[in-house]
């Protein structure tokens, strides 16, 4: 199978690069920069990509690689730090830039380059660097520059070595996908015939071979990720799989019963389903805890402890399956990457676990890829396109200490928010399409938010990819009727995103937000203010904590 290898030098966007290459229908995987050259050669990649990273190439302690890689005859693309590394290994000059570049930057490109074919001579890219290539190596020609970066891109076409100082993999680089497609298809010569069904088939075969006749315990939350992981495992090992659903009391309103309805004895799947009602246990563990990382760790450890207990009831269990996906891994810290936040199924794992091994079959996939895998597995679209929900649940949508009363408040507020968004979408549909048969809003396989409804898929331009209500730890004075109140403030969050790595606030009509505010203040006991969170990601995260 043709493939492109991404060498990880410690940046935050390493797997995003791989995801973009997969969008070109070319299989791509990430390997550490510590992978020996001989091992890399044995993989027979059609191309290699050097990623970005936070280091300076001229620092001896920074990640480096064997310069012989440049002589293998394999096409190479260096991105950000990777471009500087190519220059450094080739005898060019890399130094601290007189002026650092961050964010949207206009560059001039030479579109006679294969990498920039069809790209306008002036285009906007996403820069993030303090060092720059001040002199290209011998044999390289400069193919792009900005007002303060003399080598924004360079190439040695004879050896098929290309380097860009910017990040083509992020949405902010307007022609980024075109550049990556040129590299994968036109420069590396890949056919572009890899599909998600290939991933599903290979994963099932690999899981079957790995597990053998072992017994498997699957952590089932009912969310998209764990549901796809559960069905993938059921296809691989059948009745050797037991799915345990831990209702930690931090789910959305009525969600525990909805999960049991889908996956329980009356549902369509032949799964061994166990529901554990553990709300009081979690509330006791979280009593007095306010710091978000501590909450995540506690929720994660209790999560594993409960699964150990259920495993002992079942007898010998060899494997624990979790629905970890790659954004979880990146944000919890991968290799030299910075830790943004711990995820309950990544950073919260205790050091001793009573299983032979933890299996995470979706670990290398992004959310939209998980959804495509779910459709390929035959999971109903309404489940595949369910709103994302964090593993720690409402524990990270409640700022400060978690209590049963606060959970009740945020559940009720969130239910109202989701109901009003659905109504607003239906009204928009009625006005623009003259129909009222709305079914549900979803994020489509290409990452765009869609509406699934009897042959129609149009949505209002403000439709968020993810939206929810959260509870702040702020209380303030208010007036309701003739009485003084001293109650909580609810924060509404809604973002537009295609990959959940970056996101912008959704421009929901003010009239809709005002209706949500009125209902929450009037219907949810304990709330007298409602805020709308405008923060993008970065600097914020999508979740409140």
Instruction: Name the residues annotated as catalytic.
Output: 80, 167, 169
The set of residues, in sequence order, having a beta carbon less than 8 Å from that of 268 and lying 6+ positions away, is 262
Rg (CA), the chain: 25
User: With contact defined as beta carbons under 8 Å apart, do 398 and 470 qualify?
Assistant: yes
Query: Containing H/E element for 14?
Result: helix 14-23
What is residue 452's three-state secondary structure?
Answer: strand
Burial group, residue 108, by CB count within 10 angstroms (0-12, 13-18, 19+): middle
Instruction: Write the DSSP string, 95-144.
Output: EEEEEEEEEEEEEEE-TTSGGGTT--SEEEEEEEEEEEEEEPPTT-EEEE
The span from the CA of 152 to the CA of 507, in Å, is 34
Q: How many other CB atoms are found less than 10 A from the CB of residue 316? A: 9
What is residue 49's three-state secondary structure?
Answer: strand
Assigned token pair, 374: 């779910």
User: With contact defined as beta carbons under 8 Å apart, do 14 and 334 qualify?
Assistant: yes
Assigned token pair, 48: 């290699």
User: With contact defined as beta carbons under 8 Å apart, do 23 and 190 qualify?
Assistant: no
**How does strand 483-496 pair with strand 466-480?**
antiparallel
User: With contact defined as beta carbons under 8 Å apart, do 113 and 155 qualify?
Assistant: yes
The span from the CA of 347 to the CA of 408, in Å, is 27
């Amino acid at each position: 199978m043709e493939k492109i290898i991404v060498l990880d030098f410690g940046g935050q966007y390493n797997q995003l690069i791989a995801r973009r290459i997969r969008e070109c229908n070319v299989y791509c995987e990430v390997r550490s920069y510590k992978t020996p050259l001989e091992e890399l050669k044995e993989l027979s990649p059609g191309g290699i990509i050097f990623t970005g990273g936070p280091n300076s190439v001229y620092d001896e302690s920074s990640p480096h690689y064997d310069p012989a890689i440049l002589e293998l005859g394999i096409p190479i693309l260096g991105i950000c730090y990777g471009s500087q590394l190519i220059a450094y290994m080739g005898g060019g000059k890399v130094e601290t830039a007189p002026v650092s570049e961050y964010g949207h930057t206009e560059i001039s490109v030479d579109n006679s380059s294969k990498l920039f074919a069809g790209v306008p001579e002036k285009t906007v890219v996403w820069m993030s660097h303090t060092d720059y290539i001040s002199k290209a190596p011998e044999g390289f020609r400069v193919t792009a520059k900005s007002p303060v970066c003399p080598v924004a891109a360079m190439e040695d076409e004879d050896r098929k070595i290309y380097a860009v100082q910017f990040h083509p993999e992020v949405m902010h680089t307007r022609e980024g996908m075109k550049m990556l497609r040129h590299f994968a298809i036109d420069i590396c010569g890949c056919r572009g015939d890899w599909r998600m069904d290939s991933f599903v088939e290979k994963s099932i075969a690999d899981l079957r071979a790995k597990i053998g006749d072992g017994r498997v315990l699957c952590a089932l939350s009912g969310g998209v990720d764990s549901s796809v992981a559960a069905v993938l495992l059921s296809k691989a090992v059948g009745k050797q799989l037991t799915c345990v659903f831990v209702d930690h009391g931090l789910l959305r309103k009525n969600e525990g019963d909805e999960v049991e309805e889908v996956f329980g004895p009356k549902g369509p799947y032949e799964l061994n389903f166990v529901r554990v009602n553990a709300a009081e246990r979690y509330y006791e563990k979280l009593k007095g805890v306010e710091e978000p990382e501590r909450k995540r760790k506690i929720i994660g450890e209790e999560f594993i402890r409960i699964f150990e207990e259920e495993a002992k009831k079942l007898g010998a269990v060899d494997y624990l399956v979790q629905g970890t996906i790659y954004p979880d891994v990146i944000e919890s810290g991968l290799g030299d990457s910075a830790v943004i936040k711990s995820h309950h199924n990544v950073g919260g794992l205790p050091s001793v676990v009573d299983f032979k091994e933890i299996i995470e079959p979706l670990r290398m996939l992004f959310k939209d890829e998980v959804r495509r895998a779910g459709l390929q597995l035959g999971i109903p679209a309404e489940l595949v396109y369910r709103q994302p929900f964090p593993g720690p649940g409402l524990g990270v949508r409640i700022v400060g200490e978690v209590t049963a009363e606060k959970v009740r408040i945020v559940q009720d507020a969130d239910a109202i928010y989701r109901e009003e968004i659905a109504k607003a979408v239906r009204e928009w549909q009625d006005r623009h399409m003259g129909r009222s048969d709305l079914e549900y809003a979803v994020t489509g396989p290409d990452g765009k938010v869609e509406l699934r409804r009897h042959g129609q898929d149009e949505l209002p331009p403000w439709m968020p990819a993810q939206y929810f209500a959260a509870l702040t730890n702020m209380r303030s004075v208010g007036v309701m009727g003739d009485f003084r109140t001293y109650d909580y403030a609810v924060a509404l969050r809604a973002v537009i995103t295609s990959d959940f790595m970056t996101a912008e606030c959704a421009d929901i009509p003010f009239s809709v937000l005002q209706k949500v505010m009125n209902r929450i203040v009037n219907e949810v006991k304990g709330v007298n203010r409602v805020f709308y969170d405008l923060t993008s990601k970065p600097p914020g995260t999508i979740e409140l904590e």
